[in-house]
Amino acid sequence: MTPNIASVPEVEPRLTDLETMPRSLHLGLLGNYADTDETRFFLTPEACGLLTSAGIRISMEAGAGVDISFSDATYAEYGVRIVTREEALRAPVVLSYQPLRPKDIKKMNPHSALLCMMDNGLFDQAVIKALLERQISCGCFDNMVSHHDVEIFADIIDEIDGRGAIIYAQEALSYLGGGKGVLLAGVAGINPCEVLIIGCGNECIAAANAAAGAGAKVVIMDNDVSALHLMRSSCSYPVELICIHPRVLTNRVKTADVIITSNTSRQFEFPKSLNSSLKDSVYVLDLNESHPSISFPRTVAMALSNPLGNFFNEMVIKDGFDNMMKTTPGMQSGMVTYNGKLVDKLIGAYVGMPSIDIRVMLSTSN
């Protein structure tokens, strides 16, 4: 829960030369909403220190780092100014892992920017209307693409989710986790557990590598042969890659100790008729509905801090958010709203609001 700092003296940065540094960029760093299970966070204190030493000002909501077990005092040691949530919301560029709710959006300064991760919260008409009314430019990191055409932010979360899914599975199979006391890996004379992964995303590859690396027998199934071929080169251990076929799927489901599902290449729905074929002790996890990375928020922050450092240093070089957005196609791909316009076609269709292609919008403004 975010502490009330109204009666607490403001924690000042301890870097002696902080006040004399040029301030070319000001970031407001927010914590997660207390009434959700979200724990993930963008920046570690060390990452903030690299940014502040480069002349970037950071104002962080008091207690925002609690989910990754860092105190306000630790952030202050690295040049971060600890403030109220309201003050952090008034920064020109606001960072929040979760999309903000209308109440908070209305506290942001008009024409400022919000950077977050894509979430169901953005598929809310009230949220979009609040962003448009304040003319907030909102971008989602996990929809952005690097200069090398890599969805680096999304890939990081996918990898942690995939590896975390195997940790969840091992815990569920163990006696302490309520299972039958089974080890995921095999030992001499005993067959290993069978892990069935249905899907083709990076999270599936990460789960396969983690399970196979632990000694489990891993089968990956998808409904596109070319996707399976591509996945083979990304698997660090021997795994079986099989096209989804009703009879083959049924046989694999019957023997699986762990089943992990995600997005497949083509639309696929797990047949309800197969539920009766599952082992009584099977552990099933749908990565579309669960994010194991919320159990490892410090790892998330450490991993995201690296590309975010590059991201904000580039923003300084390009003289601010707006100039960077206009000159960086990979950043444009993650924008949801820009200067009072909805520029995400999918969200527009979902909330029943008109959208405009951001490339068209930028071309007409030049």
Q: Which of 290, 320, 340 is the last residue of a domain?
A: 290
And the tokens for 153? 């932010």
Cβ atoms within 10 Å, residue 275: 10
Q: Does residue 37 have a pLDDT over 80?
A: yes
Q: What is the mean pLDDT of residues 112-127?
A: 97
pLDDT in tens, 49-66: 999 999 999 999 999 999
Query: Does 78 share its domain with 54?
Result: yes
Gap between the Cα atoms of 39 and 237, Å rounded:
31
pLDDT in tens, 304-318: 999 999 999 999 999
Q: Which of 249, 272, 290 is the last residue of a domain?
A: 290
Q: Does residue 331 have a pLDDT over 50?
A: yes
Query: Does 182 share its domain with 302?
Result: no
Q: Which of 225, 259, 290 is the last residue of a domain?
A: 290
Q: What is the mean pLDDT of residues 170-180?
A: 93
Query: Does 97 share its domain with 218?
Result: no
- Residue among 125, 51, 126, 129 nearest 93 (CA): 51
308 within some domain: yes
Contact (Cβ atoms closer than 8 angstroms) between residue 99 and residue 127 = yes
231 within some domain: yes
Which strands sit side by side in the sheet containing 113-116, from one edge to the other?
81-83, 56-61, 25-29, 93-95, 113-116, 137-140, 335-338, 341-342
8 within some domain: no
Query: Does 202 share its domain with 257?
Result: yes
pLDDT in tens, 247-296: 999 999 999 999 999 999 999 999 999 999 999 999 999 999 999 999 99
pLDDT in tens, 64-84: 999 999 999 999 999 999 999
Query: Does 56 share its domain with 119?
Result: yes
186 within some domain: yes
What is the percent of the chain with per-residue pLDDT over 90, rounded to a whole number?
89
pLDDT at 366: 60
Domain extent, residue 272, equals 163-290
> Residue 101 sits in a domain of what CATH number?
3.40.50.720
Domain count, the chain: 2
Partners of 58 in beta bridges? 27
Contact (Cβ atoms closer than 8 angstroms) between residue 130 and residue 106 = yes
Q: What is the pTM of this model?
A: 0.90
pLDDT in tens, 79-104: 999 999 999 999 999 999 999 999 99
343 within some domain: yes
Q: What is the mean pLDDT of residues 113-132?
A: 97
12 within some domain: no
And the tokens for 295? 């159990």
Query: Does 225 share its domain with 174?
Result: yes
Q: Does residue 19 have a pLDDT over 70?
A: no
- Residue among 182, 202, 162 nearest 256 (CA): 182
Give the model's confidence band at 186: pLDDT under 50 very low, under 70 low, under 90 confident, else very high.
confident
Q: Does residue 153 have a pLDDT over 80?
A: yes
pLDDT at 364: 77
Q: Which run of H or of E encompasses 337?
A: strand 335-338
Per-chain mean pLDDT for the chain: 92
64 within some domain: yes
Q: Which run of H or of E encompasses 261?
A: strand 258-261
Query: Does 308 share its domain with 276?
Result: no
Query: Does 226 share its domain with 143?
Result: no
